[in-house]
């Protein structure tokens, strides 16, 4: 085997390019496959296999359950209720965690003051706070929103802090040399530099907020996708469980794509843009 043949055999294919973009047609085909393949397997297993629908309903039964819940208006009410709880809880967590994370990442004194406390609380499972939230806030909307806030605020703060910690010191020193003060450095240099990381942190932690909504809606909720799944589970309505899970997944994917779009629009200069 000559050297030319050997080098060709070691050349990576388009599929296995390391840290490089792949052709757009291949990217589109892989995206379609990632959705179509599980749906096809689901259809084949439920159609050809002897499986009790109570354990794994067919796609047709799930679509039928979706139509029934939509026609009754229950699905829309549940979706709106869950969206409102996640939206309020997560928005409050973002509004507080971004400035706190910026301060912790920028000032070692603030980091030393808060990081041990935040590190301690983030290992406490958010659902473990439910008895205290009911005791302090009752059983209305407040404990549900607070649970989502607790489950996302501390993680988001620490992730924002980590992005700030890796801002090059040379960039900060150059800002001071050009006459910038501390506030200008923080708002006009550090914040824009870490904005892509902040958006990524928020995008990741939004998934945690949606996971917590099911737990939060166990607190005497009368509406919500989490409650819908819980009630369906008690009555072995597996098709309705699938409807709730799929709706949550589709909504979450929509928000994920929205964050990626925001990253492309607001951070065109960033090498991390999607």
- List domains and CATH numbers for the chain: 60-266 (1.10.3720.10)
d(Cα 52, Cα 149) in Å, to the nearest integer? 39
Q: Would you say 254 and 72 are in contact if contact means Cβ atoms under 8 Å apart? A: no
> In a 3-state reduction of DSSP, which class is residue 42?
helix
Along the 274 residues of the chain, how does pLDDT read in single tens digits?
A: 455 554 455 556 777 777 677 888 888 888 889 889 988 998 888 888 778 888 889 899 999 999 999 999 889 999 999 999 999 999 999 999 999 999 998 888 999 999 999 988 888 888 888 888 888 888 888 888 999 999 999 999 999 999 988 888 887 778 777 777 878 888 888 888 888 889 889 988 998 898 888 888 877 778 889 889 888 888 888 999 999 999 998 998 898 888 888 888 877 666 544 4
CA distances from 244 to 65, 112, 210, 224 (A): 10, 43, 12, 9
Q: Name the CA dihedral angle for 21, 22, 28, 34, rounded to a multiple of 10 degrees.
A: -90
Q: How many residues does the chain have?
A: 274
Separation between Cα atoms, residue 53 and residue 42, nearest integer Å: 12
What stretches of 166-237 show up as alpha helix (H) in DSSP? 169-177, 182-184, 191-216, 225-234
Q: Could you tell me the two tokens for 90?
A: 């997560």
């Amino acid at each position: 085997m000559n050297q030319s043949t050997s080098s060709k055999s070691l050349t990576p294919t388009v599929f296995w390019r390391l840290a490089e973009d792949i052709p757009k047609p291949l990217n589109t085909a892989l995206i379609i496959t990632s959705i179509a393949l599980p749906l096809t397997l689901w259809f084949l297993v439920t159609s050809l296999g002897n499986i009790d629908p109570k354990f794994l309903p067919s796609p047709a039964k799930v679509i039928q359950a979706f139509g029934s819940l939509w026609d009754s208006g229950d699905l829309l009410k549940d979706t709106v209720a869950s969206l409102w709880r996640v939206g309020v809880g997560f928005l409050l967590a973002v509004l507080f965690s971004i400035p706190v994370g910026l301060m912790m990442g920028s000032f070692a004194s603030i980091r030393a003051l808060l990081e041990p406390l935040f590190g301690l609380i983030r290992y406490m499972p958010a659902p473990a706070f439910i008895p205290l939230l009911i005791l302090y806030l009752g059983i209305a909307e407040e404990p549900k929103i607070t649970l989502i806030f607790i489950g996302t605020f501390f993680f988001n703060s620490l992730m924002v802090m980590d992005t700030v910690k890796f801002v090059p010191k040379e960039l900060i020193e150059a800002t001071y040399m050009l006459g910038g003060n501390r506030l200008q450095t923080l708002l006009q240099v550090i914040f824009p530099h870490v904005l892509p990381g902040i958006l990524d942190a928020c995008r990741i932690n939004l998934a945690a907020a949606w996971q917590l909504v099911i737990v939060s809606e166990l607190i005497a909720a009368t509406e919500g996708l989490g409650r819908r799944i819980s009630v369906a589970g008690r009555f072995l309505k597996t098709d309705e469980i699938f409807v709730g899970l799929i709706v949550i997944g589709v909504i979450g994917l929509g928000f994920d794509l929205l964050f990626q779009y925001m990253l492309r629009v607001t951070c065109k200069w960033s090498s991390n843009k999607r």
